[in-house]
Structure formats: structure tokens, C-alpha cells
């Protein structure tokens, strides 16, 4: 036993030492003395022992570890645990975390697991599962502390001592009437800083913010941020208090949405599972759709180039600048798209701001384009001084063609990259679907048209 608590050993080494003893009491004592996050790390470090680790802990700590694990690990553990241990674990999980886990399982598995729940927990879980996917109803928990207006502060603290240990948070106490309607929510410090004989009704200001179970999970994070809350009540249409949603659940949602948006912006469907654990064929299906779409998009680019093949044959030097021209437009479009999608996610801009965004991106694109234009003309001019035969007598016309094309394409890319997310949002689609590869492909096609149109303007009558 002394070896496993040797401070010179890492937690991993200590666990390896105690697991060799095969002493269940020693293993349980060791696991119950570790931080929850450290035990979760052990689950990932020792996948062969993942179910043994959960089963070897006190059920309360096991539930605390289980709820922070990846869904694939949770599924694996549940499959290996005996039914009585699964029942204890699921009954101990907070209702919102249990619902979050069950909604990831096939319906037949959910039916079997729900049978293991206590009657009260079963009713709560079925109620939460009845709300639409991605709604606040799926996240709310019925574990909260409520009091009545005629309670004294002394009675409030008695209620907290009696029911607070089963609550998700005691930072906020909810005031309801005999019908179960929400009247107010009060911070705990308001009770602490007032005399015990004072009544709850004397503290109430009837100002509270409440959510509805059908509200979208993604949009609620803004409500938490703007109102600086750690928990918010969820009420029915008739103002009955149904449960609460806590900030930790909203942070999980925000992380999942951020990950999903990043994957979409990279040109793939949302994976919904850790990359390293998703089956290879499913990963293929997630990626191939966008690749096919972009493949056909690039075919349009080829078609556009064929329309200008006579011009390319006359002035071969124009072809050498095509990658530079279209990549500059694609890059500026990708930048604008990423900035606008992020601003929309943070609530900094809305569809109503489209005109302000357009003006900013036109000016921004002009400034960026002028910079690249000047750089392009300078490089071609310097190149001509070092190697006059490369561009010949018309080097300045070629330089102006490339420079002005860069100006036009960068402005166009910035405009398209900023407007596409707003357009998709207006149509009810996910703005992240205007991924950077999609914007780049669109700008590729239009960029060629701009490039050769500018070439006609500057080279017609000389090289064309």
C-alpha cells in the first residue's frame, strides 16, 4: 500500500502498482483518493481497465468521472459493466448528463437502459428525452432548491441543508408559489447578507430571466454571457418551473458547436465522434460528399479556362500567373468567411448588419487588393530589370494586368466570403456550410473571368 502512495511515482505508475495487487479494496481506496480529472485520464491511459476503474469507485465519484468521458468510452464501459452496476451508475448521474448520454444510443439500447432506472429517475429521463434534439429541454435538470415567498431566511437555510446536496447548484435559489409558478430567482448572497427573520418576499424584485424547453441550445449561451449567470430556470408556457440549466452544460454545447463549425469550415461534415475513434468508412463518408461537390466546382474552373485557351496560347505568360491570381482571391474570401462566421457565432453581427459588413469588406478588400497589386507590379518590374527577355517589351502592360486583376479578385473574394454566410443564414442553413473550400472554389471560377477580362483591357491590340 505504501508503494502506491509514493509521491515520487506518477499517478499512472501508482495505479499500475496497485492494480498488480488485485486487491479490490486497495484499488477502490486509491481511486477514491484521486482527483476526478486524474481518474478520467487513467481511463484513457488504461482502456483494458476502463470498466474496472468505474466499477472500483464509489458510485457518486464513478458518476462524476463517467459524465466527463467521451461518448465512445462511455458506451464501451456500459457494455462491460454488470447490469446492477449500470443501474447504480445511471441512477446516480444527473438527469441532464444521463439524457445527454442516452440520446447518443440506438433506441433499442435506450429502452433496455431505461428499465434499469428507479421509477422517479425514469419519469424524469423520459420527460427530458421527449423534448426536441438540441433543445434546452434536453439539458435541464430537476435538481434545484426552491422556496416560497412567505419563508423566512432561516427556513430557506434549513431547506438548503436538507435538499442542497442533491442540487446541481445552490448559488441560485428559486422562488415559486403553491401552483409551481416561478416568481423570482435570488442569489445565495442575498440570503447570507440579511437577518434570519426576514422573509423571502422582502428580497424579491420580480425580475428574472427564464428559458423555455424548446429554446435552441446554441443560442442560449449568449443569454448566459449577457446576464452573467451560472444557472437559468426553464419554465413552461404557463410559467411553471420545470428545471434549471447550468453553465457547465452550456459550455459543453459551445465546445461541440465550435468543433462542428470548424469541421464544416474545413470542408467536411460534422464528425460527432473523436477523430481517432470514428470508423474509417464513416470518416470517408463524412469527407467524400464535400470533395465531390468541390470536384465539380473545379470542373467549372476548367471550363472557364477553356473559354480563354486562345488567349493563353497567344500570351503563354498569362497562364503562369493563374495559380497566384485565383489563390489570392480564394485566400481573401476564406479570411472574410471565417471572420464573419465567428462574429455571427459570438453574436457580434446579425443578418441585419449586412450593409455595414458589405461596406467594410469592400473597403477592406480594396486596401488588401491595392497592397497585393503594388507588390505584383513591383515584382514584375524588378523581374524585368533582372531578366528582360521574360516579359518582353510589354512588361508594364503585363504587370498592370496582374496587379489590377489582384485588386479586383481580392475585393471580389472578400465580398463573397462575407456575404455567403449571411445568405445561408437568411435561407435557414448553417453559415459554417459556406466553408473555406467552397468559397475558394467559387472565387476560382469568377477570378479567371476577372483576370482575362482585365487582360483584354490592357493587352488588346498588343499581345492579344
Per residue in 374-404, pLDDT tens?
999 999 889 888 888 877 777 888 889 999 9
Straight-line distance from the first to the last Cα atom of the chain, in angstroms, rounded to the nearest whole number: 88
What was the pLDDT predicted at 395?
83
Q: Which three cell numbers stand for residue 15?
A: 495505479
Question: For residue 147, is it left (φ>0), alpha (ψ between -120 and 50) or beta?
Answer: beta
Q: Residue 127, Cβ neighbours under 10 Å: how many?
A: 17
Least confident among 76-90, 149-163, 256-270, 366-380: 256-270
Please state the pTM of the whole predicted model.
0.53
More confidently predicted of 59 and 1: 59
Q: Class for domain 280-459, per CATH?
A: mainly alpha
Rounded mean pLDDT, 305-321: 71
Whether the predicted pLDDT of 4 surpasses 50: no
More confidently predicted of 182 and 112: 182
Whether the predicted pLDDT of 1 surpasses 50: no
Q: Where are the domains of the chain?
A: 3-130, 146-246, 280-459
Question: Was domain 146-246 assigned CATH 1.50.40.10?
Answer: no
Whether the predicted pLDDT of 339 surpasses 90: no
Cβ pair 132, 213 in contact under 8 A: no
DSSP H or E stretch at residue 68: none
Q: What is the mean pLDDT of the chain?
A: 82
d(CA 76, CA 94): 20
Confidence of residue 2 (pLDDT cuts 50, 70, 90): very low
d(CA 392, CA 390): 6
More confidently predicted of 273 and 303: 303
Highest mean pLDDT among 24-28, 108-112, 266-270: 24-28
d(CA 10, CA 7): 7
Cβ pair 204, 175 in contact under 8 A: yes
Helix (H/G/I), strand (E/B), else coil: 44? helix
Whether the predicted pLDDT of 258 surpasses 80: no
More confidently predicted of 9 and 376: 376
Q: Considering the chain, what percentage of its residues have pLDDT values greater than 70? A: 84
Least confident among 198-202, 391-395, 436-440: 436-440
CATH topology of domain 3-130: MgtE N-terminal fold (1.25.60)
More confidently predicted of 283 and 81: 81
What was the pLDDT predicted at 263?
57
What was the pLDDT predicted at 301?
67
What was the pLDDT predicted at 463?
65
Using CA atoms in the order 315, 317, 321, 326, what is the torsion angle rounded to 10 degrees? 20
What was the pLDDT predicted at 110?
81
Whether the predicted pLDDT of 266 surpasses 60: no
- Residues in Cβ contact with 215 at an 8 Å cutoff, skipping those fewer than 6 apart: 135, 136
Least confident among 98-102, 180-184, 355-359: 98-102
Q: Considering the chain, what percentage of its residues have pLDDT values greater than 90? A: 16
Highest mean pLDDT among 149-153, 339-343, 442-446, 447-451: 149-153
More confidently predicted of 165 and 370: 370
Rounded mean pLDDT, 1-7: 48
What was the pLDDT predicted at 149?
93
Confidence of residue 283 (pLDDT cuts 50, 70, 90): low
d(CA 428, CA 372): 36
d(CA 363, CA 370): 11
Amino acid at each position: 500500500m505504501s508503494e502506491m502512495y509514493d509521491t515520487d511515482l506518477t499517478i499512472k505508475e501508482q495505479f499500475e502498482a496497485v492494480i498488480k495487487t488485485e486487491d479490490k479494496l486497495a484499488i477502490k481506496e486509491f481511486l477514491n483518493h484521486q482527483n476526478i480529472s486524474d481518474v478520467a485520464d487513467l481511463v484513457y491511459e488504461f482502456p483494458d481497465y476502463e470498466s474496472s476503474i468505474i466499477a472500483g469507485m464509489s458510485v457518486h465519484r464513478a458518476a462524476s468521472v463517467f459524465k466527463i468521458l467521451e461518448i465512445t468510452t462511455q458506451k464501451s464501459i456500459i457494455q462491460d459493466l454488470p447490469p446492477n452496476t449500470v443501474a447504480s451508475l445511471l441512477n446516480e448521474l444527473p438527469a441532464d448528463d444521463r439524457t445527454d448520454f442516452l440520446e447518443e444510443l440506438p433506441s433499442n439500447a435506450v429502452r433496455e437502459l431505461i428499465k434499469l432506472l428507479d421509477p422517479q429517475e425514469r419519469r424524469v429521463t423520459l420527460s427530458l428525452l421527449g423534448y426536441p434534439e438540441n433543445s434546452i429541454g434536453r439539458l435541464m435538470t430537476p435538481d434545484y432548491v426552491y422556496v416560497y415567498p412567505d419563508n423566512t431566511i432561516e427556513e430557506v437555510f434549513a431547506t438548503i441543508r436538507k435538499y442542497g446536496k442533491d442540487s446541481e447548484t445552490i448559488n441560485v435559489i428559486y422562488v415559486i408559489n403553491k401552483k409551481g409558478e416561478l416568481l423570482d430567482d435570488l442569489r445565495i448572497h442575498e440570503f447570507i447578507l440579511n437577518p434570519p427573520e426576514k422573509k423571502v418576499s422582502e428580497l424579491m424584485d420580480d425580475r428574472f430571466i427564464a428559458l423555455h424547453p424548446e429554446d435552441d441550445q446554441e443560442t442560449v449561451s449568449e443569454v448566459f454571457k449577457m446576464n452573467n449567470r451560472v444557472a437559468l430556470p426553464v419554465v413552461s408556457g404557463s410559467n411553471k418551473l420545470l428545471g434549471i440549466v447550468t453553465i457547465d452544460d452550456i459550455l459543453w454545447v459551445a465546445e461541440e458547436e465550435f468543433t462542428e463549425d470548424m469541421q464544416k469550415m474545413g470542408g467536411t461534415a460534422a464528425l460527432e465522434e473523436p477523430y481517432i475513434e470514428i470508423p474509417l468508412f464513416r470518416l470517408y463518408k463524412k469527407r467524400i460528399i464535400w470533395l465531390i461537390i468541390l470536384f465539380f466546382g473545379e470542373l467549372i474552373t476548367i471550363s472557364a479556362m477553356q473559354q480563354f485557351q486562345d488567349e493563353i496560347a497567344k500570351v503563354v505568360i498569362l497562364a503562369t500567373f493563374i495559380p497566384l491570381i485565383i489563390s489570392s482571391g480564394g485566400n481573401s474570401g476564406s479570411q472574410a468567411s471565417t471572420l464573419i462566421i465567428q462574429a455571427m457565432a459570438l453574436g457580434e453581427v446579425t443578418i441585419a448588419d449586412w450593409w455595414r459588413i458589405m461596406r467594410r469588406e469592400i473597403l477592406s478588400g480594396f486596401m488588401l487588393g491595392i497592397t497585393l497589386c503594388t507588390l505584383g507590379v513591383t515584382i514584375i518590374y524588378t523581374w524585368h530589370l533582372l531578366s528582360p527577355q521574360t516579359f518582353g517589351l510589354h512588361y508594364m502592360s503585363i504587370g498592370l494586368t496582374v496587379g489590377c486583376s489582384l485588386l479586383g479578385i481580392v475585393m471580389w473574394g472578400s465580398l463573397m466570403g462575407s456575404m455567403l454566410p449571411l445568405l445561408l443564414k437568411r435561407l435557414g442553413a448553417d453559415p459554417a456550410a459556406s466553408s473555406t473550400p467552397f468559397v475558394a472554389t467559387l472565387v476560382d471560377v469568377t477570378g479567371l473571368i476577372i483576370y482575362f477580362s482585365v487582360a483584354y483591357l490592357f493587352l488588346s491590340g498588343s499581345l492579344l
